[in-house]
Structure 1
Amino acid sequence: MQQEKQGQLNKISLIGRGGIGLPMFFCLYIAQSIPSSFFATALQVMMREAHYSLATIGLLQLVKLPWVLKFLWSPVVDRHCLTGRDFRRCIIGSECVYALFIILAGLFDVSDNLYLIIALVCLSLVASATQDIATDALAILMHGGRDKSMVNSMQSMGSFGGALVGSGLLLVVLHTFGWQTVTLCLGLFVLLMLIPLIMRREPVIAAKSTQERARLTDFASFFTQRSIWRQIGFLMLYYASMIGILSMMRPWLVDLGYDMKEIGVMSGIVGTSAAFCASFGAGLLLRRVGIRFTRILFACFILFTTIYFLGLSYLSQPSTLLLYLGIILMWSSYGMATIVVYTSAMECVRPGREGTDFTIQTVLTHLSGIIIATLSGSVAQHFGYHGLFLTESFIAALSLCYILVFFRNKACSQN
């Protein structure tokens, strides 16, 4: 029985690596990222140009709620997606609804129908979040062992690549071709990203037991598992120091005398590109040496990066070269850390509840990021950037110590 199960995992692993497996997941993930990045950035700019108050613009962050609350309906996806055909149908259906709402949002004029457009964008993100739940679960079931790292590279690269295009390139295109043309093209792009999945017909996945079907209460029972709290602690700590610095990066650069165009190039283009490349390299390294070593290695890299910024804070005016190096280090650390976080999250899922458990863990990282970003502003306000970077260096050191103490063995008891 054990040999049969291992043979099935080996077969699935080969299928996940070969053919159009990884490009298929890259397409699905970047289809989520580009429209959401575009809407988050473009609507802010257009609202400010229309003289909306900063308080009203701040409320735009509420459209991200579907991605924070998606754990509430993730058990429904797990319960009804039992075969590769089920996952294929769910992803295609969600993506079509996603594209439909994007196109509908483009049919209305922003100046006259802003709140209707925001509502349509919010609904599109509900469909996108549903697609993400199903895609994550499918990725877990199609990839075994260390091959999870490569599909997580596709997820991370799709996210960073989408941010680069959606919040950068498309803003330039928007001013040239207009709101309606860009949103129509975005809707068509989302549909085109389904082609690799459609070509695959029915994805081959690890068999799901019909006796272990997800229930609506599974998002709560996740926290009752033995040894899961050390994984939760890891999720809350691993990103924390980087999020704290990244949240204050742009204000710091402004205070150093850089304008918005220069900051856009430094952080938005160079930084995001560094994260994109680092994600792929981290996936290859993790696949070769395993998560235990890379978890520690990348934690050391994160600590080095925070100490580097602490050193920069002693300089009254760091050179542009030193700042570029720091930005590349920070975004590379972020890109590498996402691979470790996603892969460790995939290893801590229960049979039949893959989408639910993975979604809960990613939501925890989002909530942790929101808390850290909020607190970092207060720390920088009261203690300056030197105090902020010192605090983040301490958190990075604490994260490394936490890993050395609590992750001497595998992360989850079920593994």
Structure 2
Amino acid sequence: MSTLTAPETAPVRTSNGFWWLLWALYTTQFIGASFLSTGLVGILRDGGTDLGTLGLLQLLALVWPLKFLWAPLLDRWSPGRSRGHFRSWLLVLQPLMVVSLLAMAVVGDPQDGLGAVVALAAAFVVFSATQDIAADALSVRGLTSEQHDLGAGIQVGASYIGTVIGGGLALLVYEAWGWRVAVVVLALCTALAMVPVLRHSETERVVPDPEVGRLSAMFGVLSVPGARVWGLVAVPLVALGSAAVWSLVTPALVDAGWSLGFIGTVTSVVAAVPALGAALLGGRLCRRYGRGVTLLIGAAIQLLGGLCFVPVVWSALAVPHGAQVGLGVVGACGVLAGYTVMNTGIYAVNLDISRPGHAGADFTLLSSISMLGGTIGASAGLVLASITGYGVSLVLGLALVVLGVLLCRSHPLLARH
């Protein structure tokens, strides 16, 4: 086992292979994650699984916001020093992700073997969340500050490729060839990431440091000037408001009379395509106009998307069905694309303030706090909608996003961008 501190020198040149490595790692994380949150839920519901069981299955997602608890351990220890500190973690975790998916294929019917499927899903979530820590650490340590904008775009954009594969393609394969083929296809897609992992060479000077990986240093990134307000207030507000708005999309469209199949296509596939483009655009906007302007542009896109939902959630407007469908599709795309643009700017700043010697723990903590805000926002948005109706919840969610962006914009961390 090895102990890690900051690299001897900052990276000078990033190879094309490293960029492909980032694309592969972040895509495969969300192939499985999207399958568990969308594809598997649809398959189990189609087979008659009750909503209560499906709701409990969603609790597995809480592993991701909690992964900061063991992130310092990955900074401190490594399974194999000679193969690269974080690369050696990937050499263990990526195959475990593949094996857990292949093991699901052994279960002939997910309904009859529901207990085994849930156990394997839980294992996959733990493996993928831990793989994310190693991937984030490689991003922090392998990219120069000038490359953080592009790196953030790849991090966010790759997640939507994974979402399309895990949430959309998996259901199409399932309908055509069944459960086992669908799971094997996802496993093979996940296994492809091993190619850039095996080709990657992680070189660094490793020096013992008693502070790296200690629980006492877990929240050390918040001592970076400006990081406390950024990580604990501004960014969580953006995540909370965006998640509240997005949580309304599916139930609002159901209540508007849309079919479940069409809703799934719109939210998991159609909306993911402009979101991928928005992630790549966000990286370019950050480099050209700065992170503050990028956040404003993202908020404006999300605001327009949210306004498109007004005729959908407010039946008093009596908009023709065709126009309502069009506005609903545009609204879903706008809400998700706007959040993606904002997230690109946010991730770029997170890369800036993460300390190289604590790369896994720092970036993971910042993203975990944001995820927790999103989890609370999604729940609060639905609860508020049940009390006051969709309209009030929609407006409040958008207002929180604007407030969070304004706090980000006024913050010293964005003053130099």
Task: Using structure 1 for the length normalisation, give the TM-score.
Answer: 0.87
Distance, in Å, in 2 between the alignment partners of 1:278 and 1:60 is: 30
What residue ranges of structure 2 are gaps of 5+ in the alignment?
A: 1-5
Q: 1:138 to 1:384 in 2, by over 3 A?
A: same
Corresponding residue for residue 335 of structure 1: 340
The alpha carbon displacement at 1:222 in A equals 4.6
* Per-residue deviation, residues 43-82 of structure 1 (Å, max 9, x unmatched): 3233323433211221111222332321111111011258
The alpha carbon displacement at 1:289 in A equals 3.2
Distance, in Å, in 2 between the alignment partners of 1:275 and 1:129 is: 22
Distance, in Å, in 2 between the alignment partners of 1:370 and 1:107 is: 32
Corresponding residue for residue 113 of structure 1: 113
The alpha carbon displacement at 1:148 in A equals 1.3
2:309–2:331 CA contact under 8 A, matched in 1: yes
Corresponding residue for residue 87 of structure 1: 86
What RMSD in Å do the two structures reach over aligned CA positions? 2.8
The alpha carbon displacement at 1:378 in A equals 2.3
Corresponding residue for residue 46 of structure 1: 43
1:88–1:197 CA contact under 8 A, matched in 2: yes
Distance, in Å, in 2 between the alignment partners of 1:76 and 1:6 is: 18
Report SS of the residue matched to 1:14. coil
1:20 aligns with 2:25: no
Bigger shift: 299-308 or 57-66? 299-308
Distance, in Å, in 2 between the alignment partners of 1:391 and 1:112 is: 43
1:83–1:208 CA contact under 8 A, matched in 2: no
1:31 aligns with 2:31: no
* Per-residue deviation, residues 345-365 of structure 1 (Å, max 9, x unmatched): 222223411111111111111
What residue ranges of structure 1 are gaps of 5+ in the alignment?
A: none
Paired residues in the alignment total 402
Q: 1:271 to 1:75 in 2, by over 3 A?
A: same
Corresponding residue for residue 261 of structure 1: 261
User: Equivalent of 1:410, from 394, 410, 413?
Assistant: 413
Which amino acid letter does the alignment assign opposite residue 41 of structure 2?
Q
Distance, in Å, in 2 between the alignment partners of 1:90 and 1:321 is: 46
Corresponding residue for residue 95 of structure 2: 96
Corresponding residue for residue 3 of structure 2: none
Corresponding residue for residue 317 of structure 1: 319
Distance, in Å, in 2 between the alignment partners of 1:265 and 1:97 is: 30
The alpha carbon displacement at 1:115 in A equals 0.7
1:396 aligns with 2:401: yes
Identity of aligned residues (%): 25
* Per-residue deviation, residues 325-363 of structure 1 (Å, max 9, x unmatched): 322221210211221221122222234111111111111
* Per-residue deviation, residues 89-123 of structure 1 (Å, max 9, x unmatched): 11111111111122122212323321122111211
Distance, in Å, in 2 between the alignment partners of 1:105 and 1:38 is: 12
Equivalent residue runs for 1:242-261 within 5 Å: 242-261=242-261
2:305–2:330 CA contact under 8 A, matched in 1: no
Distance, in Å, in 2 between the alignment partners of 1:146 and 1:304 is: 31
1:313–1:386 CA contact under 8 A, matched in 2: yes
Which amino acid letter does the alignment assign opposite residue 20 of structure 1?
G
User: Equivalent of 1:385, from 382, 390, 395?
Assistant: 390
Distance, in Å, in 1 between the alignment partners of 2:176 and 2:307 is: 43
Q: 1:316 to 1:385 in 2, by over 3 A?
A: farther
Corresponding residue for residue 130 of structure 2: 130
1:184 aligns with 2:184: yes
Report SS of the residue matched to 1:99. helix
Distance, in Å, in 1 between the alignment partners of 2:132 and 2:380 is: 29
Q: 1:76 to 1:249 in 2, by over 3 A?
A: same
Corresponding residue for residue 56 of structure 1: 53
The alpha carbon displacement at 1:34 in A equals 0.8
